[in-house]
Amino acid sequence: MKDLTFGLIGWGYWGPKLARNLDTLPQSALAMVADMDAGRLAQVAAQQPWVKTTTSAEDIFRADVDGVVIATPVRTHYRLAREALLHGKHVLVEKPLTDNVADAEELVELARERGLTLMVGHTFEYSPAVNELRKIVRAGDLGNILCVETERVNLGLYRSDINVIWDLAPHDVSILLYILGETPTSVRAQAHAHLTPRIFDIAHLDLGFGGHMTAHVHVSWLHPCKIRRVTVIGDQRMAVYDDTNPAEMLKIFNKGADVHADPVVSYRYGAITIPHIEWVEPLRLECADFANAIRTGAQPRAHGGVGLEVVRILAAAQETVGSARETHAAELVMAGS
Amino acid sequence: MKDLTFGLIGWGYWGPKLARNLDTLPQSALAMVADMDAGRLAQVAAQQPWVKTTTSAEDIFRADVDGVVIATPVRTHYRLAREALLHGKHVLVEKPLTDNVADAEELVELARERGLTLMVGHTFEYSPAVNELRKIVRAGDLGNILCVETERVNLGLYRSDINVIWDLAPHDVSILLYILGETPTSVRAQAHAHLTPRIFDIAHLDLGFGGHMTAHVHVSWLHPCKIRRVTVIGDQRMAVYDDTNPAEMLKIFNKGADVHADPVVSYRYGAITIPHIEWVEPLRLECADFANAIRTGAQPRAHGGVGLEVVRILAAAQETVGSARETHAAELVMAGS
Amino acid sequence: MKDLTFGLIGWGYWGPKLARNLDTLPQSALAMVADMDAGRLAQVAAQQPWVKTTTSAEDIFRADVDGVVIATPVRTHYRLAREALLHGKHVLVEKPLTDNVADAEELVELARERGLTLMVGHTFEYSPAVNELRKIVRAGDLGNILCVETERVNLGLYRSDINVIWDLAPHDVSILLYILGETPTSVRAQAHAHLTPRIFDIAHLDLGFGGHMTAHVHVSWLHPCKIRRVTVIGDQRMAVYDDTNPAEMLKIFNKGADVHADPVVSYRYGAITIPHIEWVEPLRLECADFANAIRTGAQPRAHGGVGLEVVRILAAAQETVGSARETHAAELVMAGS
Amino acid sequence: MKDLTFGLIGWGYWGPKLARNLDTLPQSALAMVADMDAGRLAQVAAQQPWVKTTTSAEDIFRADVDGVVIATPVRTHYRLAREALLHGKHVLVEKPLTDNVADAEELVELARERGLTLMVGHTFEYSPAVNELRKIVRAGDLGNILCVETERVNLGLYRSDINVIWDLAPHDVSILLYILGETPTSVRAQAHAHLTPRIFDIAHLDLGFGGHMTAHVHVSWLHPCKIRRVTVIGDQRMAVYDDTNPAEMLKIFNKGADVHADPVVSYRYGAITIPHIEWVEPLRLECADFANAIRTGAQPRAHGGVGLEVVRILAAAQETVGSARETHAAELVMAGS
C-alpha cells in the first residue's frame, strides 16, 4: 500500500527523471504532474499513464499529496515553493533554491515555522563517488586540504533566464560545502558573456576559506569538450573525481610536495589508487531522502539551509563580477608597443 | 667550417638541451660554457668534451663568440644580457626576458641601438603544433575567436626566486600573443601561495581584448596531473591543443552554438579533425632562428619586443593580485548561518 | 489506433529492453509477455502494467498477436521460433538464431514456405556507428580492405549453456558480414576454458576471404577491461570503431604503407577524422525494422538468412577448435632446456 | 680509468642507442664501431667523435676490446657472434639471437665451452615496469595465473629479411618467459601476409603451458594505432602493463570471477592500484648487466639460454603456420547460400 504521495510541477529536463524515481520508491506514488504545456503532459501519459495531469500548479497545492517537487525555471522557485509550504506540503526544489538570498531566507524560515521539510535538488550530494571522496577527505587521508579545483564545462545548454554561474556552479559549490564541511569566508569571480549580451557563459569563482584553504570553480557553456572534474589537493595526498569516466571515477594520488628549510621543496611520488564505487543513481537516493524526511521528520542531507548557503555564495560571486570589471583590471596602456 | 660560435651561461635545466641543439646546427659550434658550479661543468665535459668551460661569465663576454645564450635564474637575466650586449654579442635569453618592465625595456632599447639581435626563449612559438594552430586561427577556420583558455599544471617544480606566474605563464602568454596576433587591453589575476609563504603556486589570469575576446590562463605547481592544454573557441569551430598527447596533439571540433532571435540558441555538431603534425624539436628551430638572425640580421620570431610584451602582461597580472585580494572579494558575513 | 501487436517470450536481460522499444513504436503495442518465472512477470507489471503476462509461451502462440519476439536461452530458440512460425506468427529471435546449422536452415526454410518474416537480433547492424563505418567501407574510402580485427572482451558474464564463441562472437561476425558484404571462405579458431570445464571463455577466430582479405575475432569473458573495438585496415586508410567511447566512436586514419619495388615500403601519415554520429538506440531501429517487415513484407536487414550464415561460421569455428587442439600445436619437447 | 672496452657492429636503429649507453657506464668505454656504410660511420663521429670507426667487422674482432655488441640484421647474427666468440670476445647480440634453433644451440654451446658471456638484447627484461609486474606475479598477488595476453601492433616498420613473428614477438615471448618463469609446452600460430608476398605482417601465437595456463601473442605491422600491452589474468587479480602510458604503466585490478557449484559464477569488483615506477632506461640496465657479467663471470639476466628458448618458440610457431593453413581451416562450402 502507498502511504506517501507526491505532486510534481514542471515537465522539462528534470521532471521526467524525478517522476520515474519518485514512482519506484517503496510505498510511494507520484499522484499528479502539472505543466503549463499540454503537449508535455501528453508525454506524462506515455511514461506513467496512471498519473493525473493538470496545467495548473494550484491543483497540486490543493490535492491530497504529501510532498511537492518543483522542477520549473529558477525564477518561479520562490513563488511555487512558498505556496506549497503555505498549503502545508513538504517541498523539494530543483537547484538553485532561489535566485536571490532574501527569497531563500524566507523559504527556510517558513519551512522551519511550519515544521515542514524544505529540500533542494543538489543531486551530487547523493553521488556515490562524491560520498567516497567526502569520506576520504573527512578521514584525513589527504592530509590538510590546501585547495580544491572544479571544472564543469561543455557546449551549452544556454539558458536565457539565468547565467552560467546560477546554472552550473550550484553543483560545484554544493559539492565543495559537502566534502569540506566548511563555508568560504570570501568569494570573487570573473565572468564573461561571449555569445548573448549580459548573460555570462564562462565564469571563474575564487573562494577563500579563512586563509588556510582556497577553491576555484570553473564553469562554462562554451567549450568543445565535456569536462566534469573535481581536484582536491591535500598536503599528504591528492584526489581527482572525474564524473565522465565511469570506470575510474575517483583517483587518489599518493604524491605531494614537502617544504623543508627554505627554499628546499622535495617531492613524493607513490601509487595511485582507484577505489571501486558501487553505482547507484544519485537521483534515486535524493528522492528516497526526501521521502524519509517526510516520514521521520529527519533533516534531509540537502536541506534548505544548505540551499541558502549555496545561493549566498552565488549571489556574492555575481556581485563581485560587476565591480571588479570596472575597477580592477590593469589597463595595459603600452606606450612603447 | 664553422662560421658561427656560441657561448652558453648556465648549466641547469635548459643549458644542456640548448647546448646539444646549438652544437648540431650547420656551420655552428658551441665554444664555451660558463656555470658557477664546477660540478656541473664536469657534466659539460661528459656531454660535449670539445667545449671549453669556465666559472666566470666574463670569460664568455670576452671570448670570440658571436652569440651568447643565457639560461640562468631569472633575476640575473637583465645583468647578464646587458653585459653581453655591451660587449657586442647577440643574445638569446631564457624566458621570461626579465622580472620587471623597466629592465626589459632597457634591453630592447640597447639591442636596437647597437644593431644586435635580442631574442627570448619562448620555445612554444617554435612548436609545430602551435604553428599549425596559429595557421588555422589566422586563416579564419575557427571563425571569430571568442575566447582562449590555457592550462599548464603539474606537481612542481617549485622555485624559490619567482612565483608560478613568472615561471609558467610566459609560455601561455607567448602562445596567446603568437596565435592571436593581438595584445590584451586588460589583465586581472587571482593567485594563492599554498605551500611556501608569499610565493604564489596557483594562479588564474584573466585577459581582455577590447571587448571582443577573452583569455584565461591557469598555471599551477600544485596539481596531481600534468596538463598542458590550450583551447581556442571560435564562433564557427573550436580547437584543443594538448601538448601531452603526441598522437593527437591538435583537435579541431566542427561544432558551436548559434544565436538567433533571443532567446533561441541552436547547436551545431560536426566532425573532429586531427591534423598530422610532423614532429621537429622546437628548441632546435629556436636555435636555428637565433643563428639565422645573427647571420642575416633578420628579426627572429621571439624577438626582444615580444619578450617585453610578455613581461608587461605578467607584471600587470602580478600587480592586480595584491590589490584585488584586499579590496574585492565579497566578505561572506553570514548572519543567518 | 494500434494496428500491430507483439508477444514477447523471455524476461531476462534483453526482454525488458525489447518490451520498452516495441511499445513505443507508432501504431504498435506489446500485448503479452511470457516467462516461466512468476517473479519476473511481476516486474513486467511494474514497467508496463497494461501488458498481459503468462507463464506459458503457448498462450502467446494462440493469442491474436502479429509478431513474436523470442529472448530466451539459446537452446530454446529453435523450438519456440518453429512453434511461432507454425502458428503463423512473424518472428524476431535474439542472437544467435540457433545453436546448430540444421535447425537454423529449417527455420529459414519454414519462414520462406509460410511467407512469414524471420529476423534475428543482430543489434549492431542497427548501430549508427556501424552503419557509418559500412558506408565508408563500401564507398571505397579505405581502399581495398586487407584485414579486419575485432575485440569484444570484459569480465563475464559467464553463461553455463553456451561458450564465449556462441555468446559474444555473433555480434562481431554479423558486423563483419554487414560491413564487408562478403562471406568468409575459411574459418579456424583457438579457444580455451580457463574457469569452468569445457566451456570456452576466451576464443580467437581467424577468418579467410578467398586470399584477398582476413579477419580476426577476439572474444573473452575473462579480461579486466571492457573493450569493444573493430579495426578495419584498408590499403588506403584505416578505421577504428570503439563502442565504449561515445564522443569518438569512429576514427578514420588517413595513413598506410605503400609497397614499391621490393623491398621498399614507405609510409603515409595524414589526418585523423572523427565523424559526428547522431545517436539513435539501435534496438529501437531493430524493432522498427521488424514492424516494417511485418507491415510491408519487405526483408528486414537482419533476416533469417544472415542469422543462418552467422551460425554456419560459429559452428565451423567451434569444430576446428577440437581438431586443432589435439593435432596441430607444436610440441616443444626441449631436450636441451 | 676505463677497465672495460666495447666494440659495436651495426649503426642502424639500435646501434646509436647502445653506443650512447655503453659509453656512459662507469669505467667503460666504447672503443670502435663497425658498419658497412661509410655514411653511417660519419654519424658516429658526430655523436661520439672519440670512437674509432671501420667498415670491417674483422677489425673489431682483432681489436683489444672485451665485449662485442652486435646490432646488425638477424641473418648475420650467427656468423658475427660465432666469429666474436672464436676470437675470445664476450658477446651481446640484438634479439632474436638467431633465425633458427640449430645456430642458437651452437652459439650457446660455444660460449659455454669458451667460458664467455653470451647475452641477447631482450630489452624488456630490464624494463622497471616489467620487473614490477614480475615481482607481483611471482609473489602470488594475482593468485594462480590463468592466462596472459600480449599485443604489440603499429604501422610498420616492415622488414624484408624477417617476418613480424621474428621481428616483434621476441619481445613478448621473452617477457612471458621472464614474468612467468615457465616454458610453454605447446605452440600454435596463425599468420598472414597482407602487403608483401610471403612475409607475414600480422600473427597470433597461442601458447599452452601444460593445461594450467595459456598465453596469446598478437603482433602486427599493419595497424593504425601503437599498442604495447600485456594483460595478466590471475584467479585472484588481474594486471595490465601498457608501455605507451608513462603515467599509468601498470594497473592492478582487484577483480575476478569465482566459480562455485556449477553453474554459478560470481564476480568480485575491487580497487585498481597503479604503483609508482621509477623510470630508468632499460637499455642502460641491459648494458650494465653485460658489463657486470664480463667483470664477474655472473650469468646475465638475458643470457644465451633464454635467447635460445625464445628462438625455439618462434621457430615452432612459424612451423605451425604452414601446416595449419593447408589442413585445418574449416572450408565453408555453403550449399544454401
Which residue from D102, D230, D114, D117 is spatially nearest to D172, judged by alpha carbons? D230
C-beta separation of B159 from B131 below 8 A: no
What pLDDT does D1 receive?
A: 55
Of B186, B223, B329, the CB nearest to A233: B223
- Dump pLDDT digits (tens) for B203-243: 999 999 998 999 999 999 999 999 999 999 999 999 999 99
Contact B50 D46 (CB under 8 A): no
Contact B206 A231 (CB under 8 A): no
Query: D-chain residues within 8 Å CB-CB of A269?
Result: 276
As a whole number, the mean pLDDT across chain B is 93
Q: Nearest CA of chain C to the CA of B204: how many Å?
A: 29
Chains that touch A (3 or more CB pairs under 8 A): B, C, D
What pLDDT does D337 receive?
A: 41
Q: Nearest CA of chain A to the CA of C278: how many Å?
A: 16
User: Best of B136, B269, B276, B277 to disrupt the C interface by mutation (most C CBs within 10 Å)?
Assistant: B276
Closest residue in C to B248 (Cα) is C272
Of C147, C221, C316, the CB nearest to D202: C147
C-beta separation of C116 from C145 below 8 A: no
Q: How far apart, in whole angstroms, are the C-alpha atoms of residue D94 and residue D78?
A: 11
Q: Nearest 5°: phi and psi at C137? A: -65, -45
Q: Nearest CA of chain A to the CA of C246: how many Å?
A: 11
pLDDT at C14 over 90: yes
Contact D188 C324 (CB under 8 A): yes
Which pairs from D47-55 meet CB under 8 Å and 24+ separation? Answer: D47/D16, D47/D19, D47/D20, D48/D19, D48/D20, D48/D23, D49/B50, D50/B49, D51/D19, D51/D23
The answer to whether C144 contacts chain D (CB < 8 Å) is: no
- A156: buried, middle or exposed (CB in 10 Å: 19+, 13-18, 0-12)? middle
pLDDT at C325 over 70: no
Query: C-chain residues within 8 Å CB-CB of D142?
Result: none
Closest residue in A to D275 (Cα) is A271
The answer to whether B247 contacts chain D (CB < 8 Å) is: yes
The answer to whether A307 contacts chain B (CB < 8 Å) is: no
The answer to whether C298 contacts chain D (CB < 8 Å) is: no
- B3: buried, middle or exposed (CB in 10 Å: 19+, 13-18, 0-12)? exposed
Angle (CA) D211 D217 D222, round 5°: 155
- Dump pLDDT digits (tens) for A230-250: 999 999 999 999 999 999 999
For the segment D230-243, the average pLDDT, to the nearest whole number, is 98
CA A148 to chain centre: 16
The answer to whether C53 contacts chain D (CB < 8 Å) is: no
Query: A-chain residues within 8 Å CB-CB of B150?
Result: none
pLDDT band at A326 (very low <50, low <70, confident <90, very high): very low
pLDDT band at D331 (very low <50, low <70, confident <90, very high): low
pLDDT band at B106 (very low <50, low <70, confident <90, very high): very high
Contact B270 C248 (CB under 8 A): no
Contact A50 C50 (CB under 8 A): no
For the segment D52-79, the average pLDDT, to the nearest whole number, is 97
Indicate the pTM of the whole model.
0.94
Contact D270 A248 (CB under 8 A): no
pLDDT at B327 over 50: no
Q: Nearest CA of chain B to the CA of D48: how many Å?
A: 9
Q: Which residue has the cell 599528504?
A: A236
B97 DSSP 8-state letter: S
- Dump pLDDT digits (tens) for D314-324: 999 999 996 54
Q: Nearest CA of chain B to the CA of D225: how many Å?
A: 9
- Dump pLDDT digits (tens) for C272-318: 999 999 999 999 999 999 999 999 999 999 999 999 999 999 999 99
Contact B271 C274 (CB under 8 A): yes
Contact D271 A270 (CB under 8 A): no
pLDDT band at D66 (very low <50, low <70, confident <90, very high): very high
Which residue from B191, B225, B170 is spatially nearest to A190, judged by alpha carbons? B191
- What's the ipTM? 0.93
User: Best of A274, A277, A278, A279 to disrupt the D interface by mutation (most D CBs within 10 Å)?
Assistant: A274
Under 8 Å CB-to-CB from C41, ≥6 apart: which residues? C11, C33, C35, C53, C54, C55
CA A112, A118, A122, A123 torsion: positive or negative? positive
Closest residue in C to D148 (Cα) is C223
Catalogue all structural domains in chain D, each as residue range(s) with its CATH number: 4-123+285-303 (3.40.50.720), 125-281 (3.30.360.10)
User: Best of B213, B258, B334, B337 to disrupt the A interface by mutation (most A CBs within 10 Å)?
Assistant: B334
Contact B49 D46 (CB under 8 A): no
What pLDDT does B54 receive?
A: 97
Closest residue in D to B224 (Cα) is D247
Q: Tell me which H or E stretch contains C90.
A: strand C90-94
The answer to whether C274 contacts chain B (CB < 8 Å) is: yes
Q: Nearest CA of chain A to the CA of C71: how many Å?
A: 24
Closest residue in D to A272 (Cα) is D274
A130 DSSP 8-state letter: H
Q: Tell me which H or E stretch contains B145.
A: strand B145-155
Q: Nearest CA of chain B to the CA of C173: how many Å?
A: 28
Of B216, B218, B330, the CB nearest to A319: B330
Of A254, A269, A272, the CB nearest to D248: A272
Q: Nearest 5°: phi and psi at C279? A: -75, 130
- Dump pLDDT digits (tens) for A159-197: 988 999 999 999 999 999 999 999 999 999 999 999 988
C-beta separation of B208 from B165 below 8 A: no
